Amino acid sequence: MWQCIAGHYGFRTVGLTFQWILCFEQFLFSCRPQSALIFLPGMPNIPSSSSGDFFTLGDAMKRLLPRLNLENDRQMPLWPPDVFALCASVLQLSGAYSLIVHEDHAPREPWARQKYLESTAVHWEEAIRQWAADESAIGAKLPCTLSEQTAKKSAGLTELLQWWTVLMDHFHLPLTDLLKTPKYRDDDPAQSALPIEDLRAVMTGLFGLLAASDEISCRLDAAYSPKEDKGSFASEAEDFSYAKLARQQMSENHFLEERSRRASLCREIHPTRALVIPKVHTPRSGLTIRNLSNYLAYLRVADVRPTWFQFNIESPPAAMILNEHVNLLVVPWPDQVNPRQFRSVGSIPLGEDEGRSRMPQFGLFAYDMSGGPTHDHVAKLLKEAKEQVGQIDGLIFPETAMSRHEYDVIADKFFESDGHEADKFLVAGVGVPPPYSGDGLARFPADPVKPGGNEAVIDFRFKIDEAGFQNKRSPVLVKARYVQSKHHRWKLDRSQIVQYGLGSQLHPNVQWWEFIRSPERTIAFTELRPWLTTSVLVCEDLARPDPVGDALRAVGPNLIISLLCDGPQLQGRWPGRYATALADDPGSSVLTVTSLGMAKLSNPRGGDSPKSQCIALWKDAKNGVREISLTSGANAVILTLSPDYLPEYSADGRLRRETARSPFPILTGVLPISLPPHHSRP
């Protein structure tokens, strides 16, 4: 292993280094404490109680909110996402979230408890309204904490403060003790110095505060419809809402300095410590920290930076939901790909055997695009599609379909195609191949070449009124663009070189890596409709669940679009397997799209099966999977998506409110589009 690593970075002789590493590993092993646990990145080392060095409940909270280090500054945060993050952090680090189904901690009468939490949320929101009004009147920032005087105004707030007080009273409780449930501690009372009643009180406080902060956040969901809410929230003044303040806070976090910029609803907890963002789906199976909430998602800061594009989307009346849909035009460009578009840009030799020629074991390859479609070709496709189904809401191209300049031209044409620019979006794979370097056989790192780029570019435009709600009649047009670089490089091995017939360009005995730059990893969540929040992945990012998988599963976007440079999108191939996993958990609908050229370039194993023109695959949680093929002569395909709704419950039995429905996009139409023969090629 060390030889491979050293060779990868250009070292040719590693014998002495390897021996030194082995000695160092043996030294570390001999010095290990008997109670040590495996250390995972981003996780504290939590020793067993016998070591005497505990990671405590207070340690977990202080990591997120440093002011809790001071005993006289441990007031409860008034801001719900901050409370949610603190409780979720303790529950996840300790693993105590699993106790939500334990007989001693499972909520009794979940329906009555949810009604009580909804009532508490009304008083909590009133306290936030008063704090915001006071801060506005004074013109200076005020401490965003829940005081005893404010809590006395309602029984619900009093109980919130009591739960918080219990946690502060047990600030030095080892996290390992949270899992010592009464059922097991009865067998060995010496396992913990705390009485059973105290442990129950701590767990009640953690679960109660997390559930209450989640319940007050129901209107953060884009699918929330205030016009249908018949509860106490409807009596609130129209010029104020906690949801509006929370979304403003998330926008402010986007304008922090570059190294701190992340989407987060938190106010006191800095986005470099932990993130809380809106949630779209609650997992319908399993038991993780994600199962404990319906409206908020907790994310530990990792090597993926989430971004949230939000609009104050006003949900349509119930009568209009029957007509809700979006039409997507999928253009599988390019329609021709040849092996010469794959080229070597370097190789990395890792060693040589006596009597054999030196063969590189790793290489770097580039994919040279053949050029994107002309704006005239796209315009004709849009015109034909509009004649078939009416307005086209989204235009989608696969991975590396065009250059950035070609994308700009097509974007202008698309958004102006039917006389208005609003309520539409464009998603396309944009490539930047690395420049040529001599004969393309330079050895690295002696002769470096600037890497290329592989990105998903997303444009969307909406008209909004003065209140920030979507309004097609408003003169205010919002234009937004987001660029998301590919997270994982494509590796071509022997089987793929044979599958795509690339042996004339790339040697099958070499592991070929895509030569692209790897900037900061990001993931965007975009609210395109009240029932449609989307994320985009680029090829390998669908197959590699780390590190973006945690963010996707925590939020559960309604639709995940994966842009591929891959063979036919058949159910049994790798895109179908990974799409199924995301449809099961968190319940997202998944659309994978590849180019017609790559589908035709692929040679089925054995060579006796006909080539497939399956350019897309659809998978959702309700209706299953569907392969989408181009018929003979077709140039594109129209997909119609409509929302369906299923109930979702958190692990403590709270139902996602009907006024914050759980929409599942389903495929309700597939229509190939063909141009006349003299128009089929741009």
pLDDT, residue 645, reads 87
Q: How far is the first Cα of the chain from the last one, in angstroms, to the nearest whole number?
A: 50
Tens of pLDDT, residues 556-598: 999 999 999 999 999 999 999 999 999 998 999 999 999 999 9
Q: Which residues contact 93 (CB under 8 A, 6 or more apart)?
A: 43, 44, 46, 55, 60, 175
Average the pLDDT over 183-209 and give the result: 72
Do the beta carbons of residue 297 and residue 288 sit within 8 Å?
A: no
pLDDT, residue 309, reads 84
* Mean pLDDT score across all residues of the chain: 80
Cα(233)–Cα(119) distance, integer angstroms: 9
Average the pLDDT over 486-499 and give the result: 93
pLDDT band at 682 (very low <50, low <70, confident <90, very high): low
Query: Which of 600, 594, 611 minimizes the C-alpha distance to 330?
Result: 594
Q: Is the pLDDT of residue 514 over 80?
A: yes
Q: Which residues contact 384 (CB under 8 A, 6 or more apart)?
A: 673, 674, 675
pLDDT band at 24 (very low <50, low <70, confident <90, very high): very low
pLDDT band at 18 (very low <50, low <70, confident <90, very high): very low
CB atoms within 10 A of CB 589: 27
- Mean pLDDT check: name the lowest of 128-137, 174-183, 465-474, 565-574: 465-474
In the 8-state DSSP scheme, what is residue 678?
G
pLDDT, residue 678, reads 59
pLDDT, residue 169, reads 94
Query: Which of 656, 579, 658, 664 minimizes the C-alpha distance to 622?
Result: 664
Q: Is the pLDDT of residue 22 over 60?
A: no
Higher pLDDT, 239 or 7: 239
Q: Is the pLDDT of residue 329 over 80?
A: yes
Tens of pLDDT, residues 282-327: 998 889 999 999 999 999 877 888 888 876 555 554 444 556 899 9
**Most confident region among 25-39, 360-374, 539-553, 579-593 by mean pLDDT:** 579-593
Query: Which of 368, 350, 575, 313 minimizes the C-alpha distance to 443?
Result: 350
pLDDT, residue 185, reads 47
Higher pLDDT, 256 or 593: 593
pLDDT, residue 601, reads 94
Q: Which two tokens stand for residue 234?
A: 């409807």
Q: Is the pLDDT of residue 46 over 70?
A: no
- Mean pLDDT check: name the lowest of 350-354, 396-400, 607-611, 676-680: 350-354
Average the pLDDT over 258-264 and give the result: 66
Spacing of C-alpha 139 from chain mean position: 37
Q: Is the pLDDT of residue 350 over 80?
A: no
CB atoms within 10 A of CB 357: 6
pLDDT, residue 202, reads 93
Q: Which residues contact 640 (CB under 8 A, 6 or more apart)?
A: 325, 326, 327, 328, 389, 667, 668, 669, 670, 671
Q: Which residues contact 219 (CB under 8 A, 6 or more apart)?
A: 226, 233, 241, 242, 243, 660
Tens of pLDDT, residues 403-461: 999 999 999 889 887 666 667 899 999 998 887 654 444 444 444 568 899 999 999 88
- Mean pLDDT check: name the lowest of 48-62, 186-200, 396-410: 186-200
Q: Is the pLDDT of residue 357 over 60?
A: no
Which amino acid appears at position 476 of this protein? V
**Most confident region among 17-31, 50-64, 504-518 by mean pLDDT:** 504-518
Average the pLDDT over 466-488 and give the result: 76
pLDDT, residue 448, reads 56
Q: Is the pLDDT of residue 681 over 60?
A: no
Q: Which two tokens stand for residue 548?
A: 């973006």
Do the beta carbons of residue 217 and residue 295 sit within 8 Å?
A: yes
Tens of pLDDT, residues 81-120: 999 999 999 999 999 999 888 766 667 777 888 888 988 9
In the 8-state DSSP scheme, what is residue 677?
G
Q: What are phi and psi of 109, to 5 degrees?
A: 50, 70
Do the beta carbons of residue 513 and residue 342 sit within 8 Å?
A: no
Domains of the chain: 49-301 (no CATH), 326-603+611-648+666-679 (3.60.110)
pLDDT, residue 80, reads 95
Average the pLDDT over 506-525 and give the result: 90
pLDDT, residue 181, reads 52
pLDDT, residue 603, reads 86
pLDDT, residue 25, reads 40
pLDDT, residue 225, reads 45
Tens of pLDDT, residues 618-668: 999 889 999 999 988 899 999 999 999 888 899 998 988 755 567 899 999
pLDDT band at 9 (very low <50, low <70, confident <90, very high): very low
Which amino acid appears at position 471 of this protein? N
Share above pLDDT 70 across residues of the chain, in percent, rounded to a whole number: 74
pLDDT, residue 416, reads 82
Which amino acid appears at position 474 of this protein? S
Tens of pLDDT, residues 201-237: 999 999 999 999 999 998 776 554 444 444 444 334 4
pLDDT band at 360 (very low <50, low <70, confident <90, very high): low
pLDDT, residue 484, reads 94
CB atoms within 10 A of CB 264: 28
Higher pLDDT, 494 or 323: 494
pLDDT, residue 227, reads 44
Q: Which two tokens stand for residue 310?
A: 């939000």
- Mean pLDDT check: name the lowest of 363-372, 475-484, 574-583: 475-484
